[in-house]
């Protein structure tokens, strides 16, 4: 909650706001966020399958962190970049700090899985067993499974003077196998690698049991290694896993044909430079050293794992059918009363703006908006930006295909560089082109991350533009998992701006200003700084001032310094930052008026909302962008003013207020860069914001 402004302190000179002591490492801040995810797995108030889900998310997040962030740091080290980040660390120091921090977090994760979650699953009849623990009859059944379904897929690779160290693909699991061969000169030791096939289920079902029993695929393979190396004695085997640089590296002058360039980069992704080696605990030091040497990794890059590797594979268990008592209670997203039974969504938009709060309110109206536009004879043109969709059967893209087939003018800006969704977007781009749509692939040096749909319709009183603006992707699946906002409007000025944006995206238009929209990289950054500076001036003049913002990350230095100046002037600032936050709150004379909280709960907090008190004339903004350099300066992003005063007040005084009152899933950032979980004080009621919004949507 916003508190009364504190007595302004003497302002610290602007130059000194660059002091590294005022900044938190963005990498360590990200690891703090992932620890908050893991904390949800530790929380016994959460259902068992949900706790397991958070462990899977923790592992998936960490994989991406190494593939992108750590890979970038290692590139800087290789290029001998010595420039320090705003928190004062060099790339080498950052790498060491990451390694040190993870050697604390990873054992906690493994203890949670090994000592709490797996035993709890066992009590529920979901058992992960070793092959050697099974009776002879069951082992015989598994042996047939191995012979029929696993053995034909395996390719053992020897490593010696005649067989160079094999290529280890990104995120693949492998067995390092020690072999002994009896020769006339005595016993010779050999080394081989066996890849665990990623095309087979990691958790192999054990048939014939009342419980759901599984063995790990790597354990099944290790149990039958003798069959892969006849005439040799298998001394032992050890699991390991390699993570590689997976970020696309497109050179602008090499990307005249962006589609082909990205297709080529995707083929190269699995061959990126190694950045991490995970090894099974107990692996002999000489094998570990050999793997590090062969992969050209340092000891700081090697992590010993006691238990399960590749935690993202836990989704196979999380998604087991049944076990509803081990999951969150299901819910049905609500349809706002204004849209219940509506067949003409355009008529509703003409009556006034419509705001949806996902996932509490359904994403279906967004799909209906496009589907109606695709079939409506009065619709002349549809324009859309697509960053991530829902895979091979997206209703959003199907509606765009229908519109193109109905000979409407369809223009789609598809971001081919949406990380880890590139292949999916390439396929959609080709299908849309075949249907007759105009497809723009974005730009080599900028991602198009803005979320907007524009429909041009011939109404009885003339042409009108209908728009949807969102804070999240056009993906009906993640719309049930992420908190986001949708705004439908046909306001003329917003339509003019949105049309200008699409002209800039699809043509040679060089728009340098917009009436109402903030558009990155053109105006967003300066508009944001201007709003923060305006609050600073209001506070200095004794007028009402205040900033509240809900974002996913804040790392951009100019924005942080503007917030510091506002705090020095006495502006109360409340930030809800889900992930990275380099701003250090509570620094005397700098940021004592700034509070930072993070909510990690059932749904991923993804929406971006900014409010500025503005001397009593409240301004409310929703956006696709976070306060990061990449969003503000190197992407196409949108921020949209909420011009309906009732909706603006709802966002400010209801949604943001409830989120800031959360004392169940909320953590507060302390000045040392760590987070303290909040809990209800004496006499206080517990407030779980996501549960409050669910109850409101369900009419409870």
Residues designated catalytic: 449
Whole-angstrom Cα Rg for the chain: 28
DSSP assignment letter at 262 = H
Per DSSP, the residues of 381-435 read EEEEEES---STT-HHHHHHHHHHHTT-EEEEEE-TTSTT-HHHHHHHHHHHHHH
**Coil/strand/helix, residue 198:** coil
Instruction: Say how far apart CA 576 and CA 600 lie, in whole Å.
Output: 11
3-state SS string over 614-655? HHHCCEEEEECCCECHHHHHCEEEEEEECCCHHHHHHHHHHH
CA terminus-to-terminus distance, the chain: 25
Q: Using an 8 Å Cβ cutoff, are 469 and 516 in contact?
A: no
Least Cα distance to 594 among 687, 662, 532, 541 occurs for 532
Least Cα distance to 577 among 35, 43, 5, 30 occurs for 30
Q: Using an 8 Å Cβ cutoff, are 106 and 55 in contact?
A: no
**Coil/strand/helix, residue 568:** helix
List of E strands, 66-172: 126-129, 157-159
Which neighbouring-strand residues pair with 278? 241, 303
Q: Using an 8 Å Cβ cutoff, are 468 and 345 in contact?
A: no
Residue owning tokens 């560089």 = 417
**Helix orientation angle between 91-111 and 48-65, rounded to the nearest 10 degrees:** 160
């Amino acid at each position: 909650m916003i508190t009364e402004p504190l007595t302004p302190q003497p302002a610290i000179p602007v130059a000194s706001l660059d002091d590294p002591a005022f900044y938190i490492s963005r990498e360590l801040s990200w690891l703090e966020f992932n620890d908050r995810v893991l904390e949800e797995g530790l929380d016994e108030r959460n259902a068992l399958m949900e706790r397991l889900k958070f462990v899977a998310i923790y592992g998936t997040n960490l994989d991406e962190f190494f593939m992108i962030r750590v890979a970038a740091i290692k590139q800087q080290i290789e290029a001998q970049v010595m420039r320090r980040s705003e928190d004062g660390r060099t790339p080498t120091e950052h790498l060491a700090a990451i390694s040190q921090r993870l050697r604390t977090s990873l054992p906690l994760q493994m203890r949670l899985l090994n000592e709490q979650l797996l035993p709890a699953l066992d009590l529920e009849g979901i058992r992960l067993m070793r092959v050697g623990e099974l009776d002879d009859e069951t082992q015989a059944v598994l042996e047939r499974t191995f012979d029929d379904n696993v053995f034909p897929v395996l390719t053992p690779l020897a490593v010696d003077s005649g067989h160079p160290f094999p290529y280890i693909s990104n995120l693949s699991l492998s067995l390092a196998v020690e072999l002994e061969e009896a020769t006339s000169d005595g016993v010779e030791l050999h080394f081989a690698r066996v890849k665990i096939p990623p095309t087979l289920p990691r958790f192999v079902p054990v048939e014939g049991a009342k419980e759901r029993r599984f063995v790990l695929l790597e354990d099944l393979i290790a149990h039958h290694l003798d069959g892969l190396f006849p005439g040799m004695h298998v001394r032992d085997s050890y699991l390991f896993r390699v993570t590689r640089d997976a970020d696309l590296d497109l050179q602008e002058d090499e990307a005249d044909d962006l589609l082909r360039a990205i297709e080529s980069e995707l083929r190269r992704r699995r061959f990126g430079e190694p950045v991490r080696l995970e090894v099974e605990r107990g692996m002999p030091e000489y094998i570990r050293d050999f793997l590090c040497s062969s992969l050209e990794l340092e000891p700081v890059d090697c992590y010993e794992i006691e238990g399960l590797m590749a935690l993202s594979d836990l989704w196979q268990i999380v998604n087991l059918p049944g076990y509803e008592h081990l999951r969150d209670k299901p819910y049905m997203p609500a349809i706002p009363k204004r849209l219940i039974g509506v067949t003409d969504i355009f008529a509703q938009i003409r009556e006034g703006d419509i705001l949806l709060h996902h996932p509490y309110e359904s994403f279906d109206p967004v799909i209906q908006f496009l589907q109606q536009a695709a079939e409506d004879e009065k619709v002349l043109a549809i324009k859309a930006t697509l960053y991530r969709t829902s895979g091979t059967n997206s209703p959003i893209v199907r509606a765009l295909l229908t519109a193109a087939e109905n000979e409407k003018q369809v223009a789609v800006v598809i971001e081919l560089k949406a990380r880890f969704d590139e292949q999916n977007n390439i396929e959609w781009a080709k299908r849309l082109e075949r249907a007759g749509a105009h497809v723009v692939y974005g730009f080599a040096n900028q991602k198009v991350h803005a979320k907007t749909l524009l429909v041009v319709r011939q109404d009885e009183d003339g042409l009108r533009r209908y728009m949807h603006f969102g804070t999240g992707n056009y993906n009906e699946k993640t719309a049930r998992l992420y908190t986001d906002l949708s705004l439908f409007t046909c306001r003329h000025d917003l339509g003019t701006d949105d049309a200008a944006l699409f002209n800039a995206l699809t043509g040679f238009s060089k728009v340098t200003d917009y009436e109402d929209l903030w558009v990155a990289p053109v105006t967003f950054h300066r508009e944001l700084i201007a709003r923060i500076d305006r609050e600073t001036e209001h506070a200095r003049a004794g007028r009402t001032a205040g900033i509240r913002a809900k974002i996913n990350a804040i790392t951009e230095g100019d924005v942080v310094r503007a917030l510091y100046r506002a705090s020095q002037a006495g502006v109360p600032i409340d930030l809800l930052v889900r992930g990275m936050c380099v701003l250090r709150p509570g620094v005397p004379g700098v940021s004592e008026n700034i509070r930072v909280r993070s909510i990690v709960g059932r749904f991923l907090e993804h929406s971006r909302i900014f409010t500025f008190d503005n001397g009593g004339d409240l301004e409310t903004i929703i956006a696709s962008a976070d306060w990061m350099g990449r969003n503000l300066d190197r992407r196409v992003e949108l921020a949209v003013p909420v011009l309906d005063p009732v909706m603006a007040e709802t966002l400010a005084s209801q949604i943001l207020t409830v989120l800031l009152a959360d004392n169940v899933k909320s953590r507060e950032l302390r000045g040392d860069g760590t987070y303290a979980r909040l809990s209800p004080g004496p006499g206080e009621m517990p407030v779980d914001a996501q549960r409050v919004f669910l109850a409101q949507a369900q009419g409870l």
